[in-house]
Structure 1
Amino acid sequence: MRHRDSRPRLVAGLSLATALTVVAPTIPAAADVAPTPASLLTSLARQEIEAGAPGVIVRVDPGRGKPLRIAEQASWTRNDHHLTADSQFRMGSNVKTMVATLILQLVAERRLKLDDPVATWLPAIENGRAITVRMLLDHTSGLADYLLTPDALKTLTGQDERTWTPSQLLTLGLQQPALFAPGKEHAYSNTNYIALGMILEKVTKRSVADLIQQRIARPLGLRHTYLSADAGSRDGDRLAHGYEPDAARLAEMNLPEVAAGLSFTGPQRVGHVDVVGLDPAITWAAGAVVSTPRDWGRFLSALMSGKLLPPAQLAQMRVTVKDPSDASARYGLGLQRHTNSCGTVWGHTGGIPGYSSQNYTDSTGRRTVTVVTTTLFGLRDEKLAVADRKLIDAAICVMLGKPVPAK
């Protein structure tokens, strides 16, 4: 699943008291002394908790010195877990960058071509002669998003505990009308990455989970990164708990999904549901990755510095198309180019029940930034969305070494 512009989507708030785990210096007492980047981001993270976020993690590596690490959580979440800057999170659609990296590695090995018709590998796709691997990667295939179907949403939110195979997920997407003719537009669809996962397994005869471990995680020393849907029950005490608004709060938020029966199952908390127990398997190669901010920063740094792909394939990855849903972003091959007032960064966003994240690096891979919030639909609250956006924008500016614009 994908994370958002200012509105979290699946296409993938209460106490003012907070707990700080790892912080840099406190905010200067003198009013005329400019706050340090650490104190500024700490203040913005606390404001996001005050706006209703259950928990927030910020990690900024400016490319020199120690990374800045901040962890804040609402007091009502403390009995469930202790949030730290090293906690694991469900990173949702960020896994698409890994899947795209694996595909491009096979392209470099001449085992696959970006312009191969999808029908070469997946005959079940009716229009598969007109859709290419490249179109799956940059979401220009026209395939509808299976996760927006009622059956998928029921499983995603825990209302239905059925287990779906990748083939069944692909079929669920193919049963929906095509969004447009292949190659004509861009529309983000998780179905594309289910198809890519299946292609990876057909070409290599290995599972996507194994490929992530063998080709990315182990070579880079990512000890806390894995595909949860295939790796068994490895989610343990390090996994941060995620929360979504309970039925009453969802009704107050007047979300269109509520009219379609959206609600979450799990232990009830203060106006929330603890959704850490939900099975992410239905998102598979489109969103079931677990990682930490440190691990993900190392991955993005290795990718953009050329350690995972030859120059030709990395250049292809950075060829972008316009994203009509977000004026600040363009989409490449499993990689987003995001621009804010301080500059342009590369990475991806992720959203899955209980977790939303944004992970970016500069064009060289020398600097990285991660912001994770332990809710997804909670960010549909306008006040919380504004606080989240301010924190993300400021963290990007700090990463790039630019002054944070006054707002």
Structure 2
Amino acid sequence: MRAAPARPFRTRRRLTAALVAAGACAAGLIAGPAQAEGQRPDSRDRELHKALEELVGPPDGPPGAIALLQRGRDVKVYRAGVADADSGRPPRPGDHMRVASIAKAYSGAVALRLVDRGKLRLDDTIGKRLPHLPKAWHKVTLRHLLQHTSGLPDFTEDPDFQEAVAADPRREVDPHTLLDFVADKPLLFKPGSRYRYDNSDNIAVALMAEAATGRPYEELLRQLVHRPLGLRNTSLPRWHLLPRPYLHGYEFEPEGPLEDVSTAFSASLFWASGGVVSTPNDLNVFMRAYAGGRLLSKETREQQTKWINGSSVNPGPGRNQAGLALFKYTTRCGVVYGHTGTIPGYTQLAAATPDGKRSLTFTLNTQVSPQTPELLARMREVQEDFVCELLRH
């Protein structure tokens, strides 16, 4: 058992480091709406439930985990551990949470829907849409930004940004100023010449969407994504608080006290790159539509799914390849499309089959990254187990 939760944060420096890395408890299986009343979990359900429990159980494991798996109309929710260490209540599919870098899929959806409407083109450049940004960046295109081949310097790696976060992580900032932290820096490489995952990319994507329409990104997100899909519990706040009820996010050392970092930092620090708040239910609806291509025209979808090799280290299952604000995960059981994310307090995977008929969300309420390699490896194994169940015939 871990020690009781510690209420104050140990150091802001530690939180800053965790932000930069982005770039025996209750457990159970909840029957979905299509499961017959009184039906008992089968052996596969029990195996998946056990895998979650074993992920949560060790001293370095997350306090809680929740996975929502939908095959056709059948929805099942698997959970282990706690959503709130104070009350001991388990995670629930209606709990709000930070989706971390899955926010990049939302900004991708906005930009690609604007491409379909003729407001943006994939070959539009920063020089055309955002001429106030450094001249050295002007040849970077929307396509480069969406596929992380831009070469933009990452604002979250800038010492001045890190110093500002350490000084006041809850301070609301104007997201339009985030790229100012690296405006004096050149491109890291020639646009299109290599892949490098980068938080600056999706800030620029949102700024392009605003420049093309003359409307705030948050308004575009509501109009083009939230409303068409009925996402009533999804938002892009600029402050540090979360809607209730929420899945508490924690940071900790093995066998050490838990620090609740759910509201420790402002979502405006990451905006279109990592600031979205949603629930497992809403995230599942979004990814079914987005990964399944329902939001886009056939022509834009074809451009989105021209894959290149992604990162070799990824908090997702199998081997990944990068499309336009979407990843292809090739596992031992087959292929799913989706996105992952990590941020202090949360690790996320949302994926679906290419036709959108089967989907999975997988959430841990602590940050798992290459800085925690053993936990990362165990988590990826469990994620792949869930993907295999998703793809089972």
The answer as to whether partners of 1:114 and 1:134 remain within 8 angstroms in 2 is yes
Find out whether 1:126 has 2:117 as its counterpart.
Answer: no
Find out whether 1:10 has 2:18 as its counterpart.
Answer: no
The answer as to whether partners of 1:173 and 1:191 remain within 8 angstroms in 2 is no
DSSP-derived class of the 1:57 partner:
strand
User: Of residues 378, 387, 390 in structure 2, which corresponds to 1:396?
Assistant: 387
Which residue type is aligned with residue 107 of structure 1?
Answer: V
For 1:254-403, list aligned pairs within 5 A: 270-278=256-264, 279-326=266-313, 328-377=319-368, 380-401=371-392
User: Of residues 181, 184, 197 in structure 1, which corresponds to 2:193?
Assistant: 184
For 1:6-405, list aligned pairs within 5 A: 10-12=21-23, 17-23=24-30, 36-51=43-58, 52-65=61-74, 67-74=75-82, 77-79=85-87, 82-123=90-131, 124-154=133-163, 160-229=169-238, 235-245=242-252, 249=253, 270-278=256-264, 279-326=266-313, 328-377=319-368, 380-401=371-392
CA distance in 2, matches of 1:235, 1:80: 19
CA distance in 2, matches of 1:236, 1:281: 16
DSSP-derived class of the 1:319 partner:
coil
Aligned positions, number: 360
Relative distance call for 1:84 and 1:150 in structure 2 (3 A) is: same
Matched with 2:8 is none
CA RMSD of aligned residues (A): 2.7
Which residue type is aligned with residue 365 of structure 1?
Answer: G
Relative distance call for 1:24 and 1:81 in structure 2 (3 A) is: closer
User: Cα offset for 1:328?
Assistant: 0.9
User: Cα offset for 1:157?
Assistant: 6.4
User: Cα offset for 1:24?
Assistant: 5.4
The answer as to whether partners of 1:81 and 1:240 remain within 8 angstroms in 2 is no
Which residue type is aligned with residue 331 of structure 1?
Answer: A
The answer as to whether partners of 1:95 and 1:288 remain within 8 angstroms in 2 is yes
User: Cα offset for 1:325?
Assistant: 3.1
User: Cα offset for 1:237?
Assistant: 2.0
Cα deviation per residue 1:90-117 (whole Å; 9 max; x = unaligned)?
A: 0011111111111111111111111112
User: Cα offset for 1:177?
Assistant: 4.4
Cα deviation per residue 1:146-200 (whole Å; 9 max; x = unaligned)?
A: 1122333355567544443233211213334422111111101110111111111
| TM-score (ref. length: structure 2) | 0.84
Question: Which ranges of structure 2 fall in alignment gaps of 5 or more residues?
Answer: 1-17, 33-40
CA distance in 1, matches of 2:31, 2:271: 37
User: Cα offset for 1:390?
Assistant: 2.1
The answer as to whether partners of 2:137 and 2:187 remain within 8 angstroms in 1 is no
Relative distance call for 1:8 and 1:280 in structure 2 (3 A) is: closer
| TM-score (ref. length: structure 1) | 0.81
Which residue type is aligned with residue 369 of structure 1?
Answer: L
Cα deviation per residue 1:248-279 (whole Å; 9 max; x = unaligned)?
A: x3xx9xxxxxxxxxxxxxxxx95231101122
Cα deviation per residue 1:316-357 (whole Å; 9 max; x = unaligned)?
A: 111122114348111111001111111111010011111110
DSSP-derived class of the 1:393 partner:
helix
Relative distance call for 1:325 and 1:144 in structure 2 (3 A) is: farther
User: Cα offset for 1:23?
Assistant: 3.6
Matched with 2:12 is none
Relative distance call for 1:304 and 1:378 in structure 2 (3 A) is: closer
User: Cα offset for 1:214?
Assistant: 1.4
Residues 100-109 or 188-197, more deviating: 100-109
Question: What percent identity do the matched residue pairs reach?
Answer: 29
Cα deviation per residue 1:105-139 (whole Å; 9 max; x = unaligned)?
A: 11111111111121111111322332111111111
